[in-house]
Amino acid sequence: MGSIDILTHLPLAVKQRVKALKNLQAQYAQVEAQFYRDFHDLEKKYAAFYQPLFDKRSEIVNAIHEPTEGECQWQVGVQEGAWGEMEREPVGKGQTNGIPHFWLTAFKNVKILGRMIRQHDELVLEHLEDVKIKFSGFEEPMSFTIEFIFKSNEYFFNEVLTKTYQMRSDPDDSDPFFSKGPEIISSTGCEIYWKVGKNVTVKTSKLQKCEGRSSVVSTTRKMPSYSFFTFFYPPDSPEGRVLDVATDYKLGYFFREVLVPKSVLFFTNEASEYKYESSDDEAREAGGEEKKVEVIRNEEPEKGPEKDLDPEESSP
């Protein structure tokens, strides 16, 4: 029996009381939406506490800071073997500075990102110095931005590539009884200023066209090429069609909540065993009620990102 059928058979006085209850329910949704806004503000507050730790991480990765012996003492859960051998490695001539390819390695240890990254992307991502999450200001619309910070390189002029995700928590007019929490409603990438001949998101092919008996005209045609860097195109644009919107939004959450805060666990490939508490909005986004989810449960999207673009490159 549907809700309309139930209301039809109720006495008028009871119907009026039900309407009063629905008004209360709509008010509850508004309060819940405020809770999510306040929670977002709390995230901003604690982001300031996390940032010094992330800054120190970046300094170690990029050989700006050499950790002291005390900073390197880590015993919990560490077994002898490869790590022990590394600790006894002599320091001196030929020593590796920082942690080479830290972010590239971490990305490749995430299933969906590993599928997005091609060999030509790796050469670019080797120059990635840091990844940061920036939250919108307290008086600004709810959003967060992922900043990819690069060393000077031969591929593009940008020092920082960004992807911004706009969010909302207010109930929708079509469903005033539920606040979906801080849900992503749109994303905005950035323009990449590629250097001549270095754009890894396009592929140039030469064509020859015969005009007359002895005249051959050569032309070039540019085609989209499968690349991690299409992530910075809007997902609904022709260039960004490599990722569907749902996958793009899930990647945004994943970068913000898991990969950036816990990057070392992905670098060491320990994160496959790591679990974290998902927020309510993530659980709803996944369409389930479970609170516990595995970090590496990055199942391939129903519409694989390789199906739309460059089919000859789609083999793993």
Fold of 10-67+98-195+225-313: Arylsulfatase, C-terminal domain (3.30.1120)
H or E stretch covering 150:
strand 143-150
pLDDT, tens digit, 9 for 90 and up, residues 118-140: 999 999 999 999 999 999 887 78
Q: What does pLDDT average to over the chain? A: 78
What are the boundaries of each domain within the chain? 10-67+98-195+225-313
Long-range contacts of 140-145 (CB under 8 A, 24+ apart): 141/166, 142/37, 142/40, 142/166, 142/167, 142/168, 142/169, 142/182, 143/167, 144/252, 144/256
Considering the entire predicted model, what is its pTM? 0.74
- Whole-number pLDDT of residue 209: 61
- Whole-number pLDDT of residue 139: 77
pLDDT, tens digit, 9 for 90 and up, residues 221-272: 677 788 999 999 876 666 655 678 888 999 999 999 999 999 999 999 988 6
35 to 29, 42, 117, 122, 183: CA distances (angstroms): 10, 10, 38, 41, 13
Instruction: Report the C-alpha gap between 112 and 121 in whole angstroms.
Output: 15
